[in-house]
Amino acid sequence: MPRTTAKGERARQQILDAAERLFAARGVHGTSVRDVAGELGIPTASLLHHFPRKQRLYGAVLERIAE
């Protein structure tokens, strides 16, 4: 299991927050990874470091909502 730092976990949560907002407003098909990164003002590559595919990001959002 990869080591998670506090900074990395904070970034991951911010990504999930933004993705949840955009998926709710635009739907999963109307939201790109680039849209989520742009919402946060971070490079797309930074987002992809945490979530290599949009499906993984969407799955993490759904998992968080289900908790």
In a domain, 30, yes or no: yes
The tens digit of pLDDT for each residue in 23-49 reads 999 999 999 999 999 999 999 999 999
In a domain, 29, yes or no: yes
In a domain, 1, yes or no: no
pLDDT given at position 25: 98
In a domain, 42, yes or no: yes
Beta carbons of 60 and 36 less than 8 angstroms apart: no
Closest by CA position to 31, among listed 54, 51, 11: 54
In a domain, 22, yes or no: yes
DSSP string, 21-47: HHHHHH-STT--HHHHHHHHT--HHHH
In a domain, 17, yes or no: yes
How many structural domains are present in the chain?
Answer: 1
pLDDT given at position 1: 47
In a domain, 16, yes or no: yes
The tens digit of pLDDT for each residue in 8-25 reads 899 999 999 999 999 999
CA dihedral angle for residue 12, residue 15, residue 20, residue 22, rounded to 10 degrees: -170
- 62: domain CATH number is 1.10.10.60
Report if pTM > 0.75. Answer: yes
Which domain does 53 fall in, by range?
A: 6-66
